[in-house]
Structure 1
Amino acid sequence: MSSLTDSKHKWLLPPIRRNMVVVLAICIVGLILCVIASLVLGSRPVTYHELINGLFNQQADSYGASVVQKRISRTIFSLFCGAALGISGALMQAVTRNPIADPSILGVNMGASLFVVSGIAFLNISTAYQYIWFALAGAMITAVFVFGIGSMGRGGATPLKLVLAGAATSAALSSLVIAIMIPRSYVMDQFRFWQVGSVGAGDWSSITTFIPFLVVGILLGTITTSALNALALGDEVATGLGVRTGLLRLLAALAAVLLCGATTALAGPIGFVGLLSTHIIRLILGPDMGYIIPMSAITGAIILTISDVCGRLIGSPGELEVGVVTAFIGAPILIILARKAKVQSL
């Protein structure tokens, strides 16, 4: 009888895997709906016929079809940036064992912004490829600085100390960015969207430049997943399991900086996407980084894309930059998370 029962239920997946399948299906459907909304909605809505022409008829000469073709690159760029920020947030939370870590909260985005703006103002850099390298340098230096400041004193790098160090550093760097931009109108005109973050400038050139950094960041993040699960148990336990914690933190942090630095170079300092996407997935699927990293990528892409659509609708006939929308949503949630978790470590 027991063997019959076992064979009857043998096809059933474990609960966490069933949840994963359900969440993945929901996220894929949500991603498809977000892509359609991004192509159709905006200051100039398009019809179903114009959407089909814009997608499949490259020779279409109607205005609606040309609008769709313009929005295709913007939508893909938004998806890539959202995925990069989602993974970056998940990795930063795992490395720092800080449940409210995020590239924007820890000041990494603003460090990348400062270096790019400085490069434009003083070194006359002008290409997306140059922007990315300057952004990566700024992001890395800022990440090391914030972690160093947050590690000082008794208790080491606690979540609260890291957040305070990141907030103070971000405020200081933001002031420097403004100080560099205000007397130089050409820098301000070129990078005004950096003050809030925008995917409106995303084109095929930006996507091509972004892809190598996205791929490398994803690969580095993926190979650290199992070791990050061990790290969540504590450095002593992880070391006992054979994990080289120093090398692990270096690789995971490098992946996070690559992803958020490249995104910031091309789209500006967009905040809270990594925080929101990772918390949503952790709440549903638990702490396993094997699930959190890929699902945070999908959820981050959804959050950023739908925020971009909302910004276009709210600001019509112009648009409200996506960084404003994500901040409007993310700031209250950050306060709720901080109060609920009392800023405890993972």
Structure 2
Amino acid sequence: MPASLASTSLKIAVALVLLGIAAVFSVTIGTRSVPWTEIRTALGGQTETIGSAAVAVRLPRTALAPLAGGALGVAGDVMQGINRNPLADPWILGINRGAALFVVTGIAFFDLSGPAAYLWVGVAGAGAAAIFVYTIGALGRDGPTPLKLTLAGTATSITASSSLIAVVLPRNDIAGNV
């Protein structure tokens, strides 16, 4: 076995062991610590005790956490690959602020409420910000270069932040919800 393959295999094995340890901590430690006996009963499908019920609630969260983390990692790699910039991320490219601006504007002016509405309006805002940044970054010679995309994203992020503050400041009723 080549040295690089052995090194990679060792790193994967260590990562999987650490993931397993984190999963055990995620299930056992929380507002209420749960002993192993209650974990076994919860894994058997029984939720008569408070500890077993806590484990039953924690198990889906623990199972979905690596999937969500992996999806975020892939999304980051795709963003960096498309922009050809290892520093590209949603903050630098203005995507997070675009999403926040759409949600806050929806709350302030369209009486938006509820997690599902926030989610979909935030996704629309992120998409609109990404399209805007790419359009601005593609203007001029040479098309969308990493530098132009980064500068357009930073300017968009700053503008969206300022706009967000301008929406929230006069509205004390929504300042606590944001």
CA contact (8 A) 1:116 1:135 kept: yes
- Among 27, 47, 50, the residue aligned to 2:15: 27
TM-superposed CA distance for 1:54, in Å, is 4.0
Secondary structure at the residue paired with 1:143? helix
Match of 1:171 in 2: 158
Q: Does 1:126 align with 2:110?
A: no
Match of 1:148 in 2: 135
Match of 1:109 in 2: 96
Cα-to-partner distance string for 1:181-237 (whole Å, 9 max, x where unaligned): 45153x4444x4xxxxxxxxxxxxxxxxxxxxxxxxxxxxxxxxxxxxxxxxxxxxx
Cα-to-partner distance string for 1:78-128 (whole Å, 9 max, x where unaligned): 434322221110001111111111122212122122222323333334344
Q: Does 1:59 align with 2:31?
A: no
Q: What is the distance in 1 between the residues matched to 2:64 and 2:176? A: 22
Unpaired runs of 5+ residues, structure 1, are 1-11, 193-346
**TM-score, scaled to structure 1:** 0.43
Letter in 1 for 2:20: I
Cα-to-partner distance string for 1:139-176 (whole Å, 9 max, x where unaligned): 12111222233334555433343333323322322333
Look at both structures and tell me which one has the larger radius of gyration over its CA atoms: 2
Structure 2 vs 1, CA of residues 59 and 31 (structure 1 numbering), >3 Å: closer, same or farther?
A: same
**TM-score, scaled to structure 2:** 0.75
CA RMSD of aligned residues (A): 3.1
CA contact (8 A) 1:39 1:71 kept: yes
Structure 2 vs 1, CA of residues 54 and 121 (structure 1 numbering), >3 Å: closer, same or farther?
A: farther
- Among 84, 105, 125, the residue aligned to 2:71: 84
Match of 1:37 in 2: 25
Q: Please show how residues 1-346 of structure 1 align to structure 2 within 5 Å.
A: 12=1, 20-62=8-50, 64-153=51-140, 156-182=143-169, 183-185=171-173, 187-190=174-177, 192=178
Q: What is the distance in 2 between the residues matched to 1:156 and 1:81? A: 33
Greater RCO between the two (CA within 8 Å, min separation 6)? 1
Structure 2 vs 1, CA of residues 35 and 129 (structure 1 numbering), >3 Å: closer, same or farther?
A: same
Cα-to-partner distance string for 1:233-290 (whole Å, 9 max, x where unaligned): xxxxxxxxxxxxxxxxxxxxxxxxxxxxxxxxxxxxxxxxxxxxxxxxxxxxxxxxxx
The number of residues matched between the two structures is 177
Choose 153-162 or 171-180, whichever is displaced more. Answer: 153-162
CA contact (8 A) 1:88 1:103 kept: no
Q: What is the distance in 2 between the residues matched to 1:78 and 1:32? A: 12
Q: What is the distance in 2 between the residues matched to 1:104 and 1:179? A: 19
Unpaired runs of 5+ residues, structure 2, are none
